[in-house]
Structure 1
Amino acid sequence: MEHTENIFERLESEVRSYCRGWPVVFEESYGHTVIDESGREYIDFFAGAGALNYGHNNPVLKAKLLDYISGNGISHSLDMMTEAKSDFLEAMDERILSPRNLDYKVMFPGPTGTNSVEAALKLARQITGRTNVIAFTNAFHGMTLGSLALTGNGSKRDGAGVPLGNVTRMPYHRYLDDTDTIDLLAKHLEDTSSGVDMPAALILELVQAEGGVNVATNPWLRRLEKLLKEHGVLLIVDDIQAGCGRTGTFFSFESAGLDPDIVCLSKSLSGYGTPMAVTMFRRELDQWEPGKHNGTFRGHNLAFVTATAALHEYWQDDALTNQIKKKANIMRGVLDKIAEQVPEEAQQVRGRGMIQGIEFKDPATAGAICAAAFNRGLLIETSGASDEVLKLLPPLTIEESALTQGLEILQESVEEALVSIGN
């Protein structure tokens, strides 16, 4: 039989990426631990790019899923009514929406984050009759054409093969050192000769994860929301990676007190790594005609089951939020220490909750640290325009002892990588 690794080289497309930095065959996982076919264990500071906030094979979610499957529960249903969907909607309302006074309708646009964003764009344009959408520098919103038009990363945009239009790019918070970016945006919206068509919406990540862990402050966010309301521009929050508790609260916009018109969720919404996405919007914006937007896998009931279990298990009180705050402080302390030890290499530590990063002057440094960490048993990735930011995304449920162990490996990997580069 052909060796397992060779089959990937022979048959899988060259487009694959993560496996190039982690060239082993993974076989088993639980909690914060991933195990390869040789039996070697790795601490996971990647968490499925934010899709595994509650860890691998979470036992509570797994038990609910196995019970559902063994009972011959509906697995595929398009947009038909099922018990699993009903349970999810009730849990979403009870645990998340009603406690936050959010009167949102919930749409199931398809199973992935980019499906959620595409639906949001289509709805905003349909409601306002406008085509333009404002997106920020360093934004990442997905890889389908509408979402890719919003995305800033040049290498990702290069793969489109067609012009990416109907989007106006504006500078994110602190993108321009000496310029108030809200004042700049206001000037473009107010001046009829600015060349910017009045947009249907503005799409926002409160933490730009793929863009380099860039964080917007609450005062900046509130000024942005006020400006958009003055001009009748819809606010879309892309909470696909920063939502579901990653910043501490369920939604990343809670601490700023924002009231988005449309919210995109995916990644850890199912809680188990099974594909699931929703697009939520203010009730009066629900102007869809039946079937105007659809998808074969928008009724993924296995994901509904685990999502419901996650909402009831982790969002009935503030316990998880309090744990995240404590672990986030541990992470920040170590990253600050690393930055202090190598000031000539480290530029900035930034992040919120349990999505944090450290920027290096030379992008090769971040890559070398990731490689050294992998060799020491830690999975961690880079982000940013040139992959210059080391990004930490451990499961929210990781034990403190494992978090500390992973951070120790990270410190050792930084030292090893800098010595190697120096030589």
Structure 2
Amino acid sequence: MNKDMEVFEQLESGVRSYVRSFPTVFTKTKGYKMWNAEGEEYIDFFSGAGALNYGHNDDHMKQKLIEYITSDGITHSLDMASEAKAEFLTKFNDIILQPRNLDYRIMFPGPTGTNTVESALKLARKVTGRTDVISFTNGFHGMTIGSLSVTGNSMKRKGAGIPLQNVVTMPYDNYVNEQDSIDYLERFLEDSGSGVAIPAAMILETVQGEGGINAASFEWLKKVERVCKRWGILLIVDDVQAGIGRTGSFFSFEPAGIKPDIICLSKSLSGYGLPLAVTLIRPDIDKFSPGEHNGTFRGNNHAFITASAALDYWKDDQLEQNIHEKSEITLAFLNQLVEKYPALEGEVRGRGLMVGVACGADGLAGKIAAEAFQRGLIMETAGPNDEVFKLFPALNIDEAGLRQGLAIIEDSIKEVLR
């Protein structure tokens, strides 16, 4: 074992995971690159599992944060008023919500993705007076008990140690190819003998990240919205991983033309990797009493500062155009890989720069990701059996860096299949 890694082996809990996939001590990051203690350079196609969509140590955000810290700006404020929070609320409304004709109240539920999901589930049950929630196969929504109850992965569910209840799982788009999953869903709601009560909410990801980069069609998403409206069910879109530009638009659901009742955001919301989450709530269902849902770290002012700076990149369409261009390059390359290497038994999945290749052979994706790490590229796997190697490059990566990373993936495939 590498001597530098001994401290983690000896002192850190066995639950650690990413350090096992990337067994080196990182010391510096910039843009789409990371360096370890030996000075070895890595291209980052992981981006903090979607928490670093703008890359590492963005200069604009860093400068704003340094200025704020050196001026003794308030760090921790729970949900008290602060200038940093006021700026974020105003800019988010002016730059993101109003231009998209979206009207939401902004709730700060706590600093992580699972916090925003928990608040969404609680609110939906409070507003409707109903208990059950419908989730979808292969969905992932977090690791606390409520969020875990709407998560599909059996290994993660087992970690709860208790029964996870009050949730009905329905098939996601294309889960069963021969059957329209919406017809199946509606049959359950209509049939008084199905055992499925009308739920408080449905929760979904428009592109399932941990579940295997499964992208729902826009038509399927529209049908889900119509079903929810017909039955008075609240639609929760978990945009924690697929949002903030990862699929090409700020919100992943924009191209589908739907308007969820509740939206969950976190990960890249702060832009800089600092913990921050919001729950966007349709104003007429903003029914929590003061303090009914709270959290000590929901007032992370350093994250408000960098999040406000990150919103500057959404004042025009330049970032979206860059994502579109890089997505076209990436998808063309992956489709070519699948055709060129039939032994992969590959299927290209995803949307925007949230893409991957599902490999038919057992364990192949993991071997490719491990080989890529040895060659200087960081990427992870996804799916119920880790059968997908997953590409999450920085949204602002330059073309040379993108193509260099893609070339490493192809070299890794050649080596693994050799």
Same fold (TM over 0.5): yes
TM range (shorter): over 0.9
Cα deviations by residue, 1:37-89 (Å, 9 ceiling, x for unpaired): 00000000000000000000011100000000000000000000000000000
* Offset at residue 350 of structure 1 (A): 1.1
Amino acid at match of 1:160: A
Q: Match of 1:342?
A: 341
Does residue 1:225 correspond to 2:225, yes or no?
yes
Q: Match of 2:14?
A: 14
Q: Match of 1:266?
A: 266
8 A Cα contact 2:343 2:417, kept in partner: no
In structure 2, distance between residues paired with 1:349 and 1:209: 14
* Offset at residue 363 of structure 1 (A): 3.3
* Offset at residue 345 of structure 1 (A): 2.1
Measured on the aligned residues, the alpha-carbon RMSD in Å equals 0.9
* Offset at residue 347 of structure 1 (A): 3.0
Q: Match of 1:369?
A: 368
Aligned runs of 1:117-196 on 2, under 5 Å? 117-196=117-196
State the SS of the aligned residue for 1:229: helix
8 A Cα contact 1:363 1:389, kept in partner: no
Does residue 1:301 correspond to 2:279, yes or no?
no
Mind listing any 5+ residue stretches in structure 2 that lack a counterpart? none
In structure 2, distance between residues paired with 1:397 and 1:141: 26
* Offset at residue 3 of structure 1 (A): 5.2
8 A Cα contact 1:346 1:358, kept in partner: no
Aligned runs of 1:397-408 on 2, under 5 Å? 397-408=396-407
Query: 4+ residue stretches of structure 1 with deviation over 4 A?
Result: none
Aligned runs of 1:250-265 on 2, under 5 Å? 250-265=250-265
In structure 1, distance between residues paired with 2:239 and 2:261: 13
Does residue 1:383 correspond to 2:374, yes or no?
no
In structure 2, distance between residues paired with 1:333 and 1:178: 28
Cα deviations by residue, 1:247-270 (Å, 9 ceiling, x for unpaired): 111000000000100000000000
State the SS of the aligned residue for 1:255: helix
The normalised TM-score by structure 1 is 0.98
State the SS of the aligned residue for 2:363: helix
The normalised TM-score by structure 2 is 0.99
8 A Cα contact 2:248 2:353, kept in partner: yes
Does residue 1:213 correspond to 2:213, yes or no?
yes
State the SS of the aligned residue for 1:344: helix
State the SS of the aligned residue for 2:323: helix
In structure 1, distance between residues paired with 2:371 and 2:152: 29
Q: Match of 1:108?
A: 108
Amino acid at match of 1:329: E
In structure 2, distance between residues paired with 1:248 and 1:22: 28
8 A Cα contact 1:53 1:396, kept in partner: yes
Q: Match of 2:416?
A: 417
Amino acid at match of 1:357: G
Cα deviations by residue, 1:173-208 (Å, 9 ceiling, x for unpaired): 000011100000011111111100110000010000
* Offset at residue 342 of structure 1 (A): 1.7
In structure 1, distance between residues paired with 2:219 and 2:343: 31
State the SS of the aligned residue for 1:339: helix
Amino acid at match of 2:340: Q
8 A Cα contact 1:373 1:379, kept in partner: yes
Amino acid at match of 1:411: E
Q: Match of 1:249?
A: 249
Cα deviations by residue, 1:366-386 (Å, 9 ceiling, x for unpaired): 011011100100001100000
Amino acid at match of 1:409: I
* Offset at residue 4 of structure 1 (A): 3.8
Amino acid at match of 1:275: P
Cα deviations by residue, 1:242-289 (Å, 9 ceiling, x for unpaired): 000001110000000001000000000000000000001100011110
Amino acid at match of 1:42: Y
Amino acid at match of 2:227: L
In structure 2, distance between residues paired with 1:399 and 1:95: 25
Q: Match of 2:353?
A: 354
* Offset at residue 418 of structure 1 (A): 1.1
In structure 1, distance between residues paired with 2:355 and 2:20: 23
- The number of equivalent residue pairs is 417
Cα deviations by residue, 1:360-407 (Å, 9 ceiling, x for unpaired): 012311011011100100001100000000100001011111001000
8 A Cα contact 2:334 2:357, kept in partner: yes
Does residue 1:44 correspond to 2:44, yes or no?
yes
Q: Match of 2:81?
A: 81
